[in-house]
Amino acid sequence: MHQDQRTLTQEWKDCIAACARCSQICEECGDDMIGMDHKGDTQLMERCMRLCRECADICVMAGRWMSRVSPLAKNLCAFCAEVCDRCAEACEQHASHHALCGPCAQECRRCAEMCRRMSGTTAKAA
C-alpha cells in the first residue's frame, strides 16, 4: 500500500474496466484480421491491425497505472484516449470488411471517453 493511502475511486475503477474491455476486443479484432482477404485495401487492413495492437497495449498500461494510483496515470489516460480514437477511426473505415471492427470501434470510443474524463481532457477536433 502506498504511504499516502491513496485509494481507487469508482471513476478510476470504471475506467480500468473500460481499458480492459477495449484491450481485449482490440486483441481479438487485430488477431482475427491476420490472414484475411484484404479485398484490395492492404494499407487500411495493415493500419487497422497495427492500431488494434497499439491500442490494446496502451489500454493495458493505462489500466495498470490507474490500478497503482500512479500520479502519472492521468497523463497516460490522455494518450490512451488519443490512441483509442485513432483505432476507432480505422476500425470504422474497415467495419464493412470485418465483423469485429464495428464492435471494436464502439469499445474504443467508450474507452476514449472514459480516459478523457479521467485525464480531464476534451475530445479532439474532427
Is residue 5 included in any domain, yes or no? no
Domain of residue 113, residue span: 10-32+41-119
What is the pLDDT, as a whole number, of residue 5? Answer: 53
Least confident interval from 20-29, 78-87, 114-123: 114-123
Is residue 3 included in any domain, yes or no? no
pTM over 0.85: yes
Average pLDDT, the chain: 89
- Structural domain count, the chain: 1
Is residue 126 included in any domain, yes or no? no
Residue 4's alpha-carbon distances to 7, 9, 23, 71, 98, in angstroms, are 9, 15, 30, 12, 47
The yes-or-no verdict on residue 1 having pLDDT over 50 is no
**Burial grade of 4 (CB within 10 A; 0-12, 13-18, 19 or more):** exposed
Q: What is the CATH number of the domain that holds 54?
A: 1.20.1270.360
Is residue 22 included in any domain, yes or no? yes
Q: What are phi and psi of 36, to 5 degrees?
A: -70, 155
pLDDT digits (tens, 9 = 90+) for 33-90: 888 776 667 888 899 999 999 999 999 999 999 999 999 999 999 999 999 999 999 9
Q: Which of 70, 66, 48 is nearest to 111 (CA)?
A: 66
- Residues 82, 92: Cα–Cα separation, whole Å: 15
The yes-or-no verdict on residue 4 having pLDDT over 60 is no
Q: Is the four-CA dihedral 113, 15, 44, 32 of positive or negative sign?
A: negative
Is residue 66 included in any domain, yes or no? yes
What is the pLDDT, as a whole number, of residue 38? Answer: 64
